[in-house]
Structure 1
Amino acid sequence: MAKASNGPLGALNGKLRNLVFYMLNGQPVVRTIGDPGKPSRNQLANRQAMSVTMGLVSSITDFTSVSFELEAKGTVRNAHNLATSYIKKQALKGEYPNISVDYSKVILSNGSLPGAADLKIEKKEKGVLLSWDTTGSDDDIVMILLCHPLQKRATSCINAGRRDAGSYFIGLREDYLEEPIEAYICFRAADGKAISNSAYVGNLNGEIESPEERAQNKKYQLIKQRFDVVESDYLQQLKDNWGQRVDSKAFRNLEKEYEVLKNKLEHLPGKPG
């Protein structure tokens, strides 16, 4: 039973049929409970988009808890909410079931502090070297984030020296150094009262497929090969019978396999871009 503790016009608290009402960060929230039934394609796409988003967000929390702190201050949102929203809305690419992160569009901070030009990332023997133009307040603090997509981890450097240093070296393990790296940078005022927009520095080692993605692609190709054979046979039999379904058990089995394989391909990840 839901209760209206603040009168008939106030926020509810509790359960009312398949709805649950509660307060979150001082704001009234309502959500549904129970079996929602078979999800639509749009719902499946939204679920995958959220899953992909959270896979990245969970690995960069140390960085975003600082980089979004000022933007979240004084609002009902927190750094986690902001990171999730920006990535899900602006930094995803592809269509279900092949949604993935577009690392070049990831936003990690918003602010009025000047950014930097001439951003570079170089691979060295024991790590990576990031460099930037030093125009701006000398004592601004540099924040650097390296994403390691295959490891599903990130290297956060919250206090990577001062802006006037012009460069910063980050030591990395050999396996991290040989895998794809996505790099970002932003600047925070020394007093912590301002921050710059984040900037995408670039990629090292290209976008290499993970073992999981390779397995998905292989599975997709195998099913696609079988589907092509079944589809050709199915359509030919329809053509030979003047577009009408053939009244035989063999045709019904063929038609069922055709529909099953077609449905699988529509929902199976690994489809070539």
Structure 2
Amino acid sequence: MAKAANGPLGTLNGKLHNLVFYVLNGQHVCRTIGDPGKPSINQLANRQEMSVTMRLVKSIREFISVSFDLEAQGTVKNAHNLATSYIKKKALKGQYPNLSVDYSKVELSHGTLEGATDLKLEKTDKGVQVSWNTEGRYDDMVMILLCHPLRRKATSLINASRRDAGTCFIELHHDGFLDEPIEAYICFRSADGKEISDSAYLGNLNGEAETEERISQKKKYAEVKKRFDIVEADYLQQMKGNRGNPVDSKAFRTLEKEYQVLKNKLEHLPGKPG
């Protein structure tokens, strides 16, 4: 049952048929419930877009809670909403079902503070070295984010250094993080926390991480190939034992059919090595 607190034409609150009305952050919201039926391709694409986006947002929540805080103030949105919106709209690439994050287009802060220039990202034996031009307000704080896509984790340094330092070293020699794909970002925040700069993409180390879809395809291909190798060995052995001629038996005909099906499937199945 839905209630109209301000009269028959007032604000609804509650359930009405397959609709639910409620207030979220001062806004009146309506959503549907129940079985929506078979999803369309566009709906499936939107779901994957959201899934890919949320995996990244979840891993960087500590950083964005600070980097988007100023932009969220005075609005009905929060830092999580803003990060989700920017990444989903601006930083995805590919077509369904092969969507992934374009890390070079990820935006992690927007502001009027002077940004970073002459950026450098280098890998050392024990970690990552980031450097920048020191022009600007000397006491601005530096925020650095290192994304680790394979781990679905991130290294967040909210107060990594001061602008006038011009450089910051992040130790990463433990647990193999240094040898895996890394996507890096930087922004500046004023000492009083009232201003922030636009974020800047520092770059990638160790190459791009494979997408979830590609990993799934390779796993499926490997499983089919493993079965094919067993069937092929049995099939060829029986053919050889019968001087290259098919064996006249139901079992062999079943084996031969599976051999042909698997062989054809491998020729068209994505995920092949190389």
* TM-score normalized with structure 2 length: 0.79
Match of 1:203 in 2: 204
TM-aligned CA distance change 1:13 to 1:269, over 3 Å = farther
Match of 2:184 in 1: 183
Match of 2:228 in 1: none
Sequence identity of aligned pairs in percent? 72
Mapping of 1:119-130 within 5 angstroms?
A: 119-130=119-130
Q: Determine the C-alpha separation between the residues in 1 that align with 2:212 and 2:41.
A: 26
Match of 1:71 in 2: 71
Match of 2:150 in 1: 150
* Deviation sequence 1:205-242 (CA, Å, 0-9, x none): 0014378733413536998xxxxxxxxxxxxxxxxxxx
Q: Determine the C-alpha separation between the residues in 2 that align with 1:99 and 1:211.
A: 9
Q: Which deviates more, 142-151 or 171-180?
A: 171-180
Matched, 1:102 2:102: yes
Aligned residue type for 2:18 = N
Q: Determine the C-alpha separation between the residues in 1 that align with 2:211 and 2:96.
A: 18
Once the two structures are TM-superposed, the CA of residue 174 in structure 1 deviates from its matched residue by: 4.7
Q: Which deviates more, 210-219 or 52-61?
A: 210-219
Contact 1:97-1:269 within 8 A present in 2 as well: no
Contact 1:104-1:200 within 8 A present in 2 as well: yes
Once the two structures are TM-superposed, the CA of residue 271 in structure 1 deviates from its matched residue by: 9.9
Matched, 1:57 2:54: no
Match of 1:244 in 2: none
Q: Specify the SS of the correspondent of 1:3.
A: strand
Q: Specify the SS of the correspondent of 1:161.
A: strand
Q: Determine the C-alpha separation between the residues in 2 that align with 1:208 and 1:111.
A: 30
Q: Specify the SS of the correspondent of 1:34.
A: coil
Q: Specify the SS of the correspondent of 1:158.
A: strand
Q: What stretches of structure 1 of length at least 5 have no aligned partner?
A: 224-256
Contact 1:98-1:271 within 8 A present in 2 as well: no
Q: Specify the SS of the correspondent of 1:58.
A: helix
Match of 1:35 in 2: 35
Q: Which deviates more, 202-211 or 124-133?
A: 202-211
Q: Specify the SS of the correspondent of 1:159.
A: strand
* Deviation sequence 1:14-59 (CA, Å, 0-9, x none): 0000000000011100100000000000000000000000000000
Once the two structures are TM-superposed, the CA of residue 104 in structure 1 deviates from its matched residue by: 0.3
Contact 1:182-1:204 within 8 A present in 2 as well: yes
* Deviation sequence 1:229-258 (CA, Å, 0-9, x none): xxxxxxxxxxxxxxxxxxxxxxxxxxxx9x
Contact 2:98-2:213 within 8 A present in 1 as well: no
Match of 1:194 in 2: 195
Q: Who wins on radius of gyration, i.e. which is larger?
A: 2
TM-aligned CA distance change 1:270 to 1:111, over 3 Å = farther
* Deviation sequence 1:114-173 (CA, Å, 0-9, x none): 101111111111110100011110000000000000000000000011000000011112
TM-aligned CA distance change 1:70 to 1:211, over 3 Å = closer
Computed over aligned residues only, the root mean square deviation of the Cα atoms, in angstroms, reads: 2.3
Q: Determine the C-alpha separation between the residues in 2 that align with 1:98 and 1:221.
A: 19
Q: What stretches of structure 2 of length at least 5 have no aligned partner?
A: 225-260
Contact 2:103-2:183 within 8 A present in 1 as well: yes
Contact 2:97-2:213 within 8 A present in 1 as well: no
Matched, 1:14 2:48: no
Match of 2:25 in 1: 25
Match of 1:47 in 2: 47
* TM-score normalized with structure 1 length: 0.79
Contact 2:142-2:159 within 8 A present in 1 as well: yes
Contact 2:115-2:197 within 8 A present in 1 as well: yes
Contact 1:67-1:108 within 8 A present in 2 as well: yes
Q: Determine the C-alpha separation between the residues in 2 that align with 1:158 and 1:270.
A: 39
Q: Determine the C-alpha separation between the residues in 2 that align with 1:25 and 1:187.
A: 29
Q: Specify the SS of the correspondent of 1:128.
A: strand
Contact 1:126-1:174 within 8 A present in 2 as well: no
Aligned residue type for 1:142 = V
Q: Specify the SS of the correspondent of 2:160.
A: coil
Aligned residue type for 2:197 = S
Aligned residue type for 1:15 = K
Match of 1:139 in 2: 139
